[in-house]
Chains A and B, each alone.
Chain A
Amino acid sequence: MDMASSTLATAEVSSAKIVVRDLTVRYGSTLALDRVALDVGDRQVTALIGPSGCGKSTFLRCLNRMNDHIRNIRIEGSVSLDGVSIYDAAVDPVELRRRVGMVFQKSNPFPKSIFDNVAFGPRVHGLRDRVELREIVERSLRQAALWDEVKDRLDRSALDLSGGQQQRLCIARALAVEPDVLLMDEPASALDPIATAKIEELIHELKTQYTIVIVTHNMQQAARVSDTTAYFYLGRLVEVGPTEQIFTNPSRPETEDYVTGRFG
């Protein structure tokens, strides 16, 4: 990992793709996030780590407003993407989600063909041209390193694919709408080591074009794929910094306890 470039990510606010300030989220009376401030660097991989229930998934879902549909949720503070506040009344969450794609923990292909899965997003956004759709599907599947495995059976059901293939299909599907940011919520937690390695390799390649925020329970994974790591605990952001520093020389003892497995 390149130390110099990752230090840059958090040090300079101006280069940040996403700027979060004072983000507080409550489910009813339960405090899920407490005044979180975080900058997400452009074309960087930012890993969110922390024990279950620490608020990292809630944080992730605030970035594309997937929390909007939850009842009794209260979101305060500001999240801006390229300098525009995404919770502004003028921002359409539908348009926002086109720019901020998401890959979920459990692969969730539609019960449709492989082609239709990838073409879903572009079609929803009005693209009808068969040739163009075909190009997008191929490009997205290639980007997701799945093309060679499925190019002969694009019309087969996506549900016939293996778990790892399904997850890469979901990544391809997210890439097909050409987002700026890709949010990944434990994308490899349900996969075997080989499939996991493929996904991690993919993340490495994707970060040249996309800003990626990844939630993971796997510390080695965070260390391998990310430039910046943020440690959450009980709804608070305990520490954020260049990944190398967080894993080798964290400034907070709580962080050290967690990353070294002494968490208690």
Chain B
Amino acid sequence: MTSPSESLDQRYARRRRTERAMFAATVAATATVLGILLFLLGYLVWQGASALSLDFFTHLPTPVGEAGGGMANALVGSAKLLLVAAVVGVPVGFLGGVYLAEYDGGRVAFAVRYAADVLNGIPSIVIGITVYGLLVVPFGHFSTLAGGIALGLLMIPVALRTTEEFLRLVPDTLRDASLALGAPQWVTVVRVVIPAGMRGILTGLLLSLARVAGETAPLLFTALSNRYWSPGWLQPTASLPVMIFTYAIAPYDDWHRQAWAAALVLLAIVLGANVVARLALGGRSTAQT
């Protein structure tokens, strides 16, 4: 603490030292975060770029021991899984978020919000085993549908809370304006509040989808994997995250290279979704005023 004998100059000098030290600490932390991201990107490119070729995107995996081949089935598999996830997660998350933000009914809203937060904290493997018990065991086989539903359940809490957050950013003055014109509340919500928050909500939904795109654990025993194309929705399917896992622990150099390539592609997709989302939000004129 400040001692009474300390002169004003000494005190200023001490404050300047503290200020410089704290500033250096924040710069260091920022640099660390950026460094980790850049290192990750660089390492993936270095390891995976060599295995990236047109074949990777268009060919099926080759039999063990044969070089070449690709992960076309895993790319399509991941896309189908995400489609199912979106069909499950977006409506529930979006409508739930609208309810929380616009029809905040006190106790019910509190319960829903709390449930969403708890759900968000549930390890993804627990969601996986639940879906395994409910949708895989009774039907006797792994499927795209089961995997997609597991991913959809995972994205619900994120989709719900981001929808709620972005609707809350819409100023109350807009709600007042609409109500004062004689619009019923549901019209106000549908015609004014949701359009005003739409850009942010879409961003949030895209990000929640990007987040589950990399989930592996819940897919291991719902979608399983597949060396071949997976027709329809009721067959086991390959997916990028599970392929990375399988290939990375296999004893073949060629597979390791492909695993790196797949990791690079997955990261590119997630990063791309993030960048697109940020850019879309960049021209924000909606939630202002």
Q: Residues on A close to B: CB < 8 A?
A: 64, 66, 69, 94-98, 101-102, 104, 106, 108-112, 120-121, 124-125, 157, 159, 170, 173-174, 177
Contact = CB atoms under 8 A, between A and B. Distances in A.
Contact of A66 (B180, B192, B286, B289): B180
Given A106-B173, A124-B187, A111 B181 contact: no
B182 A121 contact: yes
B181 A101 contact: yes
Interface string B175-208: 0111111111001000110011000000000000
Contact of A94 (B171, B177, B183, B191): B183
B285 interface: yes
A177 B178 CA distance: 12
B174 interface: yes
Contact of B289 (A111, A121, A125): A111
A125 B182 CA distance: 8
A124 B183 contact: yes
Contacts, number: 70
Given A104-B173, A106-B173, A170-B177, A111 B195 contact: yes
A106 B179 CA distance: 16
List of 7 A-B pairs having minimum Cβ-Cβ separation, nearest first: A98-B182, A102-B180, A108-B173, A121-B181, A97-B182, A124-B183, A108-B177
A106 B172 CA distance: 11
Contact of A109 (B176, B180, B195, B289): B289
Given A66-B179, A94-B184, A108-B174, 13 more contacts: A69-B179, A96-B182, A98-B181, A101-B180, A108-B173, A110-B178, A111-B285, A120-B183, A121-B181, A124-B191, A157-B285, A159-B288, A173-B181
Contact of A64 (B180, B196, B286): B180
A110 B183 contact: no
29 contacts: A94-B182, A94-B183, A94-B184, A96-B182, A97-B180, A97-B182, A101-B181, A104-B177, A104-B180, A108-B173, A108-B177, A108-B289, A110-B177, A110-B178, A110-B196, A111-B174, A111-B196, A120-B178, A120-B181, A121-B181, A121-B182, A121-B183, A124-B182, A124-B187, A125-B182, A170-B177, A173-B181, A174-B180, A174-B181
